[in-house]
Structure 1
Amino acid sequence: MPASAIEEAAEQHAGSLLEMRSCRRLAAALVLVAPLLAALGQWTDVDLVLADWLYSRASACFPWRDAWLTATFGHEILKAGLALLAACFVALAIADALRPQAPLDRPLARLRLRVIACSAVLVPLATSLLKQASSAHCPWDLARYGGNEPYVRLFEALPAGILPGHCMPAGHASSALWLVSLVVWWLPGPGRGAWRAACLALAPGLVLGWMQQMRDAHFLTHTLWSAWIACAIVLALVMLLQPSGGTVRRAPAGTRCRAR
């Protein structure tokens, strides 16, 4: 049996989705991306450029703000469907914890379900709590787009007498960004497949974030920060919930292991 196959089988037998070395690499990547996102909002005008492009100065409004696609389908129907899907994962995880389900009798299957269920709760919750601590205003509140509030960058203080806007990160996008946790169904496995799955799983959240940008409810960096938070939470859950921190037990040469 090839050595790589033995290692993969041993990892599955240990009930681990990612070995600790891979977890550390992903954590380091997230740490490196954070200052890039901060710089994007602090030292570029990408948020304003995109918002200006979507804003109609002729009618002094954002044409997509009350459109059915963005306001009804994107903000209400899709969000309700995603909330229902999240509730199903949470309910299944609770039911399995109280009375283990036969289809989840293998360690990896149960671990995957718990990561997804916890992500479905923690990603929107963490995003909502961080919003309450932020001073950023939504575009539609800014004087630049017909509101009354000043535009303040990430590391700038609010002018005296201006109340916090509580608009960053993007809360609506987080209702779909927890779907990135579905990548665990491709772990452990070839890295290329897992990366493709992660990108596809992030897509719904990014689309919802873009719809909110079309409505003047958020800036691009608001959505990107929400995506970063979702990825960080999913990685943290994998590291915390898998046994032994993801340490792979190597199988002796010539042995075969199978996940149970």
Structure 2
Amino acid sequence: MWLLSFMAVMNFTILLASIGLKAPVIASERIDPHFHYIPLLYKKIRSFLYRFAKKIIVQTNSAASYFGKNLQRIIQIIPNPVKLPKNHKFFSSTARCIITVGRLDKQKDHDILIHAFSRLYPTYPHLGLTIYGGGAERDNLQKSISLPGAIQEIHQKLLEADLFGFPPLYDDFPNALVEAMSVGLPIIASNCSGNIDIVKNGVDGRIFPVGDVLKLAVLMEALVCDPNTRKRLGEKAKTVAERFHPDLIFHR
């Protein structure tokens, strides 16, 4: 069973209603269309109606690549701005806290982070894994790990952590990831759409193949045991706040 997103319905309705009018219409895709299923008929309707849009706003190059050549001329990439951090992480030579933030649903693939962590824990019993967020998968996930749920202010929790894991199957613009990077937290992220538009592997974070538990566990262990690399990646990660500074994004 499928449901069209509210955004898709609004795009279709407004574009259809505005045909023949002089008012410019800007459509917006807020999730990577490669992974957002809609029936074939609606795909054809979207392709037809989007020709009448003044602009189509997407958040990443990954999402922009979905649309054919006839629409590329009106595609505009505008990522989300990064909330400027109040302060940055104080570096600790011993890693004790691994965290992630995100909705508890299958898209975010928290299962893989839990399985990777379980490979490390017997050797590193001082490590803890915390997942902040709420959602439909809570009951399934909490069989394996304690989940504190969603919290209003995540900034302090990011500062207290030593490593940030982010394993979604797909995304568009992952706000949780860039917020973690902006405070100087070293990150390990899957190579899904969205993540690969932000993270430079080996420069400001580490990337692993989507769904690869073993590779994720290897990268987690390497960073847990290497404080110098954690510090180097964290320092580079902070530059994400410059790339997605609110002034730059609002100008677009």
TM-score by length of structure 2 reads 0.23
Higher relative contact order (CA 8 A, sep 6+): 1
More strand by share: 2
